[in-house]
Amino acid sequence: MSVGIRHDDLRRRNRAMVISAVRRAGHPSRTEIAATTGLSHSTISAISSDLIQEGILAESRGSETVSLKRGRPQVGLSLNPEAAAVLALVLSLNFLSVAVIDYAGQVVAEEQRRLDTLTMSRDELIGECVAIVRRRLEDPDLDVQSVARIALAIQGITDSHARAMLWSPITPQTNIAFADILEDEFGIPATMENDCNMMAVALRWRDPDRYRDDFIAILLSHGIGMGLVLKGELFTGTHSSGGEFGHMIHRPGGALCRCGRRGCVEAYAGNYAIWRNARQLSENAEPVADVSDADMRALAARARETDGPEREAYRKAGEALGFGLGSLFALIDPAPVAMVGASAAAFDLIEPALREAIAQTAGGQHSGSISFDTEPNELPLIREGCAMRALSFVDQEIFAPGVQARGGSAGKNVA
Amino acid sequence: MSVGIRHDDLRRRNRAMVISAVRRAGHPSRTEIAATTGLSHSTISAISSDLIQEGILAESRGSETVSLKRGRPQVGLSLNPEAAAVLALVLSLNFLSVAVIDYAGQVVAEEQRRLDTLTMSRDELIGECVAIVRRRLEDPDLDVQSVARIALAIQGITDSHARAMLWSPITPQTNIAFADILEDEFGIPATMENDCNMMAVALRWRDPDRYRDDFIAILLSHGIGMGLVLKGELFTGTHSSGGEFGHMIHRPGGALCRCGRRGCVEAYAGNYAIWRNARQLSENAEPVADVSDADMRALAARARETDGPEREAYRKAGEALGFGLGSLFALIDPAPVAMVGASAAAFDLIEPALREAIAQTAGGQHSGSISFDTEPNELPLIREGCAMRALSFVDQEIFAPGVQARGGSAGKNVA
DNA sequence: CTTTATTTTTTCGAGCCTCGAAAAAATACT
DNA sequence: AGTATTTTTTCGAGGCTCGAAAAAATAAAG
């Protein structure tokens, strides 16, 4: 049950609102903030004066303030980069990357490592993550005290409290409470995020005009993932990160999926599935562990060239994605879609069958008007999403304390 | 973008919170309200004193206050039944019903009418709705001034702003802005709701222990509908009421659905589909307009008796529902399910195949632990949901004004 | 170069709201 | 009849936002 609003919550919330207005707008003046938040000028003045004194905001006077209007010029407020820092970790197949981001959102340091995630033990996997964080924290250029948050994104299913990885295709290990492990190790609040959810968060920051309240980010990669924003909030399952679009059932009892079940969308549209179909292997053939990007590019090239099994494989992928999206649209109505990942570069091969399939579904009423965007590079997107999510936590918790406790559900407030 | 909190919003929100605490608890004392809302005793005292003076709450002293404890006895607060009244309209196949409900939630009058919705013209349909409301409002026992809300539920798709019916299986008419029509006619705020959503709302009020933050209500009837509550809020689509579970795709290109498409869940699990399969008709056979409840009961009886086409028809229905739920669970994770409607009485025939199918899907990991409840009578549930939704609007808007404007999105705040 | 107009930001008092502590009220126990 | 206990109200303190007015800072006009 929702709890009453105390008197002191008021200031906290309005402080958080001012901070988020500055983060969104870049260099808004106090007057602009008053307009977007609906609060009075006096309130904004009081709050921003506090925030400046606390070193959270800074006046960015001069600079490009070419005031053409007459009257007292506006003085822009900006985030003080030194107010805090966050770490964005991304763990994907055979790859671990970390970035240190200042409070204004600029990357100040980064590091990447190749691993063999599929064969690593539980302890090795945890050890690598802890080690890479430790190395960044030991960087003499970094004020350790200022590091206020760590966000770790992983390909796979996480719990809805953003504490643990439950299952992931990149490792046989399950149920690793990465967030708790990192918190215990470094004493810095941490969250465990799903990679596709972070893609969605990043898209929202990158292009708020296109990706605002309702949109879908689909990762076309070895597996199929999805990040979903509905009514302005990141969608998650009741217990896990949810949104396992790739494991909706396309054909009951159909092709063998990497997850061991049959007929999932991914069993037709994941890289391994396209590969399997292009090679004309049986639908029951064991999914291969990895297909290189180069191999997939070659496959796509051949599909574009001749009408052979490669083209048919992409057609089947499109069909599976189309019927899957159709079922999804039956539930949530159509929304803009971003296709992310290496195979998004082959979306030209996928789109015709996808649209044809979608037209046969409940979501197909407006199938013509559904727009697809492609973005072949998922990694920067995931990292950016992680960073923004961690920063939003800092905004809300550290600098406007008491609104939420530690951790925070993965569901509320798209970072 | 979310707007700042004004100083006067505080009182409004806390007033609304007190009212909703009373509605939920029945006869809570001021002390109990303070405990559940987290507000101080003095605040609750002040707010409830206001509300009593305004005739919204009343002290229900004496009655069954058998105080066993010593000390000053608690004095229970209750809703003043005369504070307001609402109308709950339910429009379903060939049937229109209305109930007048007082502010405390008691039905004070009702009326029902048989119609021939499938053949009625647009104006006739609207006319019947307006007429039945007018008759209730002209009832001399009713104080017209006190009627604060009308909620109309319909089987079919409504828009996400709760203004209009977009499409419905009970009539060939489309896009009727019932909410606006009723508001214009009577000058009373009205909303247009989806029937299955109202079922979910009602379940939440009836059994908050079982149906709290996440659950699914599925209507097994001529068609298949769903009401979904996620994270304590009624789930709706981005543009429409959404949640069209019945039109998720079970088998691409499969059986002919009433909606004209192929392979929808409903095309296997709706009454007409069970009927069609039991008669061993082609999957392409045109769906019949209606199957009587008696005929369905006879079908179920035969299915229980002998292992013939009737039993197979129910098996197919279970399979379709199972794979559909499996896909849904891939997105939202498993949650308690209530099976509502006449065919819920035949759930014993459906369940085995349903569980078998679900076990083959991503949601199947915990398939054993997913619990199904059945409730054969949907109509009282829909009416109750409508009533509670309308009353909640009154709570929030009329008696705690300014929090939201008129209408209200269908998505927020499960009534 | 001074004055005026314009726009942004700060200051200040008024009005609410919630809270904690103490008082008042109402009952059971001794 | 007095005491203990629990609920409810009262009252002053402290905070917050708001509107109006003042102050600040600049462009345009004379």
Nearest residue to B319 (alpha-carbon basis) of B292, B264, B356, B271: B356
Together in a domain, B75 and B181:
no
Cα–Cα distance measured from residue B176 to residue B334, given in angstroms and rounded to the nearest whole number: 35
**Owning domain of residue A46:** 7-79
B389 vs chain A: nearest CA distance in angstroms? 17
Give the pLDDT mean for A353-370. Answer: 84
A238 vs chain B: nearest CA distance in angstroms? 6
Query: Could you tell me if B115 and B95 are in contact, meaning their C-beta atoms sit under 8 angstroms apart?
Result: yes
Together in a domain, B344 and B220:
yes
In order of A362, B113, B233, B257, the CA distances from B246 in angstroms are 10, 28, 21, 10
The pLDDT score that the predictor gives to residue A411 is 33
Give the burial class of B359: count Cβ atoms within 10 A of its Cβ; 0-12 exposed, 13-18 middle, 19 or more buried.
Answer: middle
Query: Could you tell me if A88 and A129 are in contact, meaning their C-beta atoms sit under 8 angstroms apart?
Result: no
Q: Which of A79, A111, A132 is the last residue of a domain?
A: A79
Which of chain B's residues have a Cβ under 8 Å away from the Cβ of A6? 38-39
Together in a domain, B190 and B247:
no
pLDDT mean across residues, chain B: 92
Domain presence at residue A409: no
Together in a domain, B191 and B277:
no
Query: Could you tell me if B303 and B314 are in contact, meaning their C-beta atoms sit under 8 angstroms apart?
Result: yes
Nearest residue to B131 (alpha-carbon basis) of B117, B149, B111, B116: B111
Q: Does B399 touch chain A (CB under 8 A)?
A: no
B408 alpha-carbon distance from chain centroid: 16
Domain presence at residue A232: yes
**Is pLDDT of A407 > 70?**
no
pLDDT mean across residues, chain A: 92
DSSP A357: H
pLDDT digits (tens, 9 = 90+) for A329-339: 999 999 999 99
B332, amino acid identity: I
pLDDT digits (tens, 9 = 90+) for B194-237: 999 999 999 999 999 999 999 999 999 999 999 999 999 999 99
Residue nearest to nucleotide C12 (CA to C1'): A42
The pLDDT score that the predictor gives to residue B412 is 36
pLDDT digits (tens, 9 = 90+) for A29-65: 999 999 999 999 999 999 999 999 999 999 986 555 5
Instruction: Mark which residues 147-186 of A lie under 8 Å from B by CB.
Output: 160
Domain presence at residue B225: yes
Percent above pLDDT 90 for chain A: 86
Q: Does A137 touch chain B (CB under 8 A)?
A: no
Cα–Cα distance measured from residue B346 to residue B324, given in angstroms and rounded to the nearest whole number: 18
Query: Could you tell me if B330 and A240 are in contact, meaning their C-beta atoms sit under 8 angstroms apart?
Result: no
Domain presence at residue B47: yes
The pLDDT score that the predictor gives to residue A413 is 41
Task: Please report where in the chains the tokens 């409470």 appear, as a residue.
Answer: A177
Together in a domain, A218 and A322:
yes
Rounded to the nearest 10 degrees, the angle between the axes of helix A378-393 and helix A195-206 is: 80
Interatomic distance A71 CA / D28 C1' (Å): 10
Together in a domain, A182 and A253:
no
Together in a domain, B188 and B214:
no
Bridge partners, residue B111, by sequence? B98
Q: Which of B79, B104, B136 is the last residue of a domain?
A: B79
In order of A216, A329, B177, the CA distances from A366 in angstroms are 16, 11, 21
Domain presence at residue A296: yes
Q: Which of B79, B109, B127 is the last residue of a domain?
A: B79
* Cβ-count burial B305-332 (b if 16+ within 10 Å, e if not): eeeeebbebbbbbbbbbbbbbbbbbbbb
Compare all CA atoms of chain A with the CA of B328 and give the residue at the minimum distance. A248
Q: CA angle at residue B400 from B397 to B405, to 5 degrees?
A: 35
Which of chain A's residues have a Cβ under 8 Å away from the Cβ of B10? 5, 7, 10
Domain presence at residue A406: no
Together in a domain, B157 and B236:
no
Together in a domain, B245 and B356:
yes
Nearest residue to A151 (alpha-carbon basis) of A202, A115, A117: A202
Q: A221: domain CATH number?
A: 3.30.420.40
* Secondary structure class of B358 (helix, strand, coil): helix
DSSP A176-203: B-HHHHHHHHHSS-EEEEEHHHHHHHHH
φ and ψ at A47, to 5 degrees? Answer: -65, -45
Together in a domain, B183 and B135:
yes
pLDDT digits (tens, 9 = 90+) for A190-249: 999 999 999 999 999 999 999 999 999 999 999 999 999 999 999 999 999 999 999 999
Instruction: Mark which residues 292-321 of A lie under 8 Å from B by CB.
Output: 319
Domain presence at residue B412: no
Domain presence at residue B46: yes
Interatomic distance A9 CA / C17 C1' (Å): 12
Together in a domain, A335 and A390:
no
* Secondary structure class of A295 (helix, strand, coil): helix
Q: B38: domain CATH number?
A: 1.10.10.10
Domain count, chain B: 3
Together in a domain, B234 and B383:
no
Q: Does B24 touch chain A (CB under 8 A)?
A: yes
The pLDDT score that the predictor gives to residue B9 is 87
pLDDT digits (tens, 9 = 90+) for B340-387: 999 999 999 999 999 999 999 987 676 677 889 999 999 999 999 999
DSSP A19-74: HHHHHHHSS--HHHHHHHH---HHHHHHHHHHHHHTTSEEE--STT----SSSSPP
